[in-house]
Structure 1
Amino acid sequence: MSNIEVRTIPYGSKAFKDFLHFPWEIYKNDPHWVPPLLLDVKNIFNPKKNPFFEHSSLEILGAYQNNKMVGRLVVGENTASNHYRNENVSFFGFFESADDSNVAKALFEKALEWSKNKGCKTLRGPFNLTFHDDCGLLVEGFDSDPYIMMSYNRPYYDQLIQGASLHQVMDAYAFYGTADDIMTDPLLQISDHVKKELNPVVRQINLKQGFLEDVYVALDMVNESLEGHWATYPMTKKEIAYKANDLKKIVIPELCFFVEVQGKPVGFSLTIPNLNEALKKANGRLFPFGLLKILWHARKIKSLMSFQLGMVKEYQKSGLGAFCYVEIWKRAKALGYVEGEGGRVFANNPRMLQAAKLLGLKPYKTYRWYEKEI
C-alpha cells in the first residue's frame, strides 16, 4: 500500500522552498533541462506582485514519502478565464513527480477534491499559471533544449497524468526553421504583393516613450487574433503591465514592431531572443555569478522565438502576416540570428498550421493538455 502524503504548502514557508527546488532533483541528469530563475518562480506565487491573485486563487501541493518530497502540483481557479469563456474549470500546473504512478494519483486526487469544493466541473491543464504563461506538457521532441517560455518535462509525465484518469483534450506544435528555410519563394511573393497593394509601414516599438500604451494596443490585436481559440482569454491591464515589465528587459526594438496601413496600426509582431541559451548557464540563480553568466552568454544567442503576431480582423487574410515574417527575418539576419522557433500552434488551427508550412518551418515538438470531468 502506498504511503504517499499530500500536504498543502503555504507561500513563503520552508516547504515552499522545497517546492521551488524540487525540479533540480527530477532533472539533475537531464542535458536538455533549462533551470528557471528561482526568483521569477517565487514571484509568480507572490500575491503582492502577481495581479493574477486579484481575481483568482490556487493551492500549492506537495507529495511526500517518508517525509521527503517526491512530487508537486498546483491547482487553481482562473475566474477571469472562466468568466470570459463561460466555463466552470479549475486548472493544474507546475507538475513534477518521481516516476511513480502512486505519487501522481495522490496529487491529482487532492487537486480534484479542491476543485470539487470550489464548485468546478472540469480540471484542465497544465497551465503555469495561465494560457498566457508556460503551459502544455511536452510529449514529443525531447532531444533538444526548450526555447524561452516553452515547457520541458520528463517523458514519463504523459503516462503519469493519464494514469491519474485525465485524458488528452488538445495538442499544439512547435515549429523550427533556419533563417534560410523561412525565406521561401511563396512567402516572398506574397510579401511583395502586399507591399504593392497595401503599402504597409513598419513602426518599431519605443522602449523609452509610450511603451506600455503600445503594449495595450498590441495586446488588443493579439486578443482579436486569438478570439474563439481554445483556452485563450484577454488579460487584465494589470496583468499586461506585469508581463510587459519582464518582456521589456529582453525586447529588441528591431524585432518588435507595428505594421500600419494608411496611418493606422493594423498588425503587431513580437520576436524575442531565445534567452534559454543564456539562462541554462545560471542554474536558476542570479547571484553571486548567475547574472554575469546570463549577460555573457546572452551576447552569443543565435536563436529567436516568434512570440506573438496579432492582426485586426479586417487584415487577417490580407497577407500582412507574410509581410511581417519576411520583415522579421530580414532584420534578424542583419542582427546575426540564424534560427528560430514558432511555438504553440494548436492542432485545431488549420490556418496557422498552413502558415507554418508556407514559412518552411518543420514541426519538431508536440505539447499536450489534459482534462477530467469532476
Structure 2
Amino acid sequence: MIEIKEIKNDSDLKKFVTFPFKLYKNSKYWIPPIISEEMNNFKSDINPSLKDSSISLFIAIKDNEVVGRIAAIINWVEINNYKVRKIRFGWFDVINDINVTKLLINRIKEIGKANKLEYMEGPMGFSNLDKVGVLTDGFDKIGTMVTWYNHPYYSSHFEKLNFKIEKQYAEKQFSFKNIDKDYYYRMSKIIQKRYDFKAVNFDKIEDVLNNMNEMFDLFNRSYSSLSSFIEINDIQKEYMKNKYVRFMNPKFITFVLDKNNDIIGFAVIMPSYAKALQKMKGKLYPFGFLHLINAKKYVKNVILYLIGVHPDHQNKGVTAILFSSLIQNLKEKNIEDCLRTPELIENESVDKIWKNFNPTLRKKRCTYKKDLN
C-alpha cells in the first residue's frame, strides 16, 4: 500500500528534502543540494517567493520508506496578473513505479481543481530563476547546481499518464580554447566608440551587489517576451542576492553601460561547484564549506548563469563588449569550458548570441502539461 503524506513539520520536510540522496545514492551525475538551504526554500519567513505563492509538499510512503515526493505550487502573480490559470508542480522525484507517480500527480490535480485552475505543468519552481524541467537527454553527463537531475524513466511515467510536452529546453556548452579573443576585442572597441557604451568589471563582490537591483530590472525587461516569464520583485531580488553571493566571483561578472550610465547589458558567470557539492553530500559543516572555497579558487569550468541585453539595444553588438571583457578574465584563470543553463528552444535570440562559440548540445529537458478537466 502507498500512502501520500502532506508535509506539516520539519521532520517530514527533511524527509522530503533528503529523499533524492537515497534515490541517486550511486549516481555520478546527480548534484546534491545543500540540505539546510533546500529546507529554507520552503519556509515562508525566509523565501519571499512564498509570499506570492501557495505551496503544498507531499511524500509517498511504501513499506515505511519514502518512495516519492512532489510540490504543488500556485503562483498567484501568474494567475492574477498574467491570467495563466495553471498549477505548477516541482521537486518531483520517484522510484520506478508509475503507481507512485499517479498518486502524487493526483494530489496536484486535486489542489488545482479546488482552486478552479485549468491545467498543471512541471516540473518547475516558483519563478524563472528556479530549476526547471525533466531531463530527457544527457543522463551520462554531470549536472549543475542550478538544474535537476532525474532517472530516464521519468518521461515515460508522464507520457503513460497522458501528459504532453509543453516547453523544451536545451543545455549547451563551449570550450574557451578555440575562441578568437582578438576578434571580440576589436569588435568591442568599435561598438563602444560607435554608441558611447562602456564595460564595467568588478574586483569586489560588494560593488556587484550595489548594482544588482538595476541588473534584475534589466533581467525583467529583457526576458519579458518569453512564455511563462514572471517578473522578479524587489523582495525576491534581495533573496536571490543573499542566496548566491557566496558562489559569485566578481571578476566573472560584467555590465555594459550606456552614455547615461544605465545598465543595458549584463553577464553573470559562476564557477561550477558540481564536484564540490558532490563531495559535501548536502552538508556545509563541519568541512563542507571548504570544498566550496577550493572550487571557487581552482575553478576549471564555469556556468553562464544569466545574460541579458536591453530590448532597445539587442542589435547593436552589446554582447561583443560583454564577451571581450569576460573572455579576458576567464582565460587568465585558465577556464576550460562554459556550461549554459537550460534555455527555452523558442528563445532564438539567446542562441544566436553563442553561434560564434561553436556550442555543442549537452542536455535536453522539458516540462509536461495536462488539463485538469
Q: TM-score, normalised on structure 2?
A: 0.93
Is the contact made by 2:67 and 2:94 (CA closer than 8 Å) also made in structure 1?
yes
Aligned to 1:66: 63
Aligned partner of 2:314 among 303, 313, 316 = 316
Aligned to 1:9: 7
Aligned to 1:353: 351
Gaps of 5+ in 2: none
Q: CA deviation at 1:190?
A: 4.6
Q: Distance in 1 between matches of 2:19 and 2:127?
A: 21
Aligned to 1:51: 48
Aligned partner of 1:364 among 358, 362, 365 = 362
Aligned partner of 2:300 among 281, 299, 302 = 302
Aligned to 1:325: 323
**Larger deviation: 81-90 or 46-55?**
81-90
Aligned to 2:106: 109
- Aligned runs of 1:125-274 on 2, under 5 Å? 125-183=122-180, 190-191=187-188, 193-205=190-202, 207=204, 211-264=208-261, 265-274=263-272
Q: CA deviation at 1:106?
A: 0.9
Aligned partner of 1:277 among 275, 278, 289 = 275
Gaps of 5+ in 1: none
Aligned-partner SS, 2:116: coil
Q: Distance in 2 between matches of 1:231 and 1:294?
A: 33
User: Cα–Cα, structure 1 residues 236 and 195, in superposed 2: closer, same or farther, change >3 Å?
Assistant: closer
Give the letter aligned to residue 267 of structure 1: G
Q: CA deviation at 1:321?
A: 1.3
Is the contact made by 1:186 and 1:358 (CA closer than 8 Å) also made in structure 2?
no
Is the contact made by 2:252 and 2:270 (CA closer than 8 Å) also made in structure 1?
yes
**Larger deviation: 326-335 or 103-112?**
326-335
Q: CA deviation at 1:221?
A: 1.0
Aligned-partner SS, 2:354: helix
Identity of aligned residues (%): 23
Q: Distance in 2 between matches of 1:157 and 1:47?
A: 29
Q: CA deviation at 1:189?
A: 6.4
Q: Distance in 2 between matches of 1:45 and 1:128?
A: 11
Is 1:24 the counterpart of 2:21? The answer is: yes
Q: Distance in 2 between matches of 1:54 and 1:349?
A: 29
Q: Distance in 2 between matches of 1:86 and 1:167?
A: 21
Q: CA deviation at 1:67?
A: 2.8
Is the contact made by 1:278 and 1:301 (CA closer than 8 Å) also made in structure 2?
no
Once the two structures are superposed, residues 155-188 of structure 1 have per-residue CA deviations (whole angstroms, 9 ceiling, x without a partner) of 1111112223221011111111111234488766
Q: CA deviation at 1:142?
A: 1.4
Is the contact made by 2:199 and 2:257 (CA closer than 8 Å) also made in structure 1?
yes
Aligned to 1:92: 89
Aligned to 1:293: 291
Is the contact made by 2:272 and 2:295 (CA closer than 8 Å) also made in structure 1?
no
**Larger deviation: 188-197 or 76-85?**
188-197
User: Cα–Cα, structure 1 residues 218 and 249, in superposed 2: closer, same or farther, change >3 Å?
Assistant: same
Once the two structures are superposed, residues 289-325 of structure 1 have per-residue CA deviations (whole angstroms, 9 ceiling, x without a partner) of 2222332344322111111112222111111113212
Q: Distance in 1 between matches of 2:329 and 2:181?
A: 16
Q: CA deviation at 1:99?
A: 0.5
Give the letter aligned to residue 36 of structure 2: L
Aligned-partner SS, 1:181: coil
Aligned-partner SS, 1:119: coil
Q: CA deviation at 1:212?
A: 4.4
Q: CA deviation at 1:192?
A: 5.1
CA RMSD of aligned residues (A): 2.0
User: Cα–Cα, structure 1 residues 219 and 111, in superposed 2: closer, same or farther, change >3 Å?
Assistant: same
Give the letter aligned to residue 154 of structure 1: H
Give the letter aligned to residue 249 of structure 1: R
Aligned to 1:118: 115
Q: Distance in 2 between matches of 1:141 and 1:236?
A: 33
Q: CA deviation at 1:15?
A: 2.2
User: Cα–Cα, structure 1 residues 312 and 322, in superposed 2: closer, same or farther, change >3 Å?
Assistant: same
Is the contact made by 1:89 and 1:124 (CA closer than 8 Å) also made in structure 2?
yes
User: Cα–Cα, structure 1 residues 207 and 191, in superposed 2: closer, same or farther, change >3 Å?
Assistant: closer
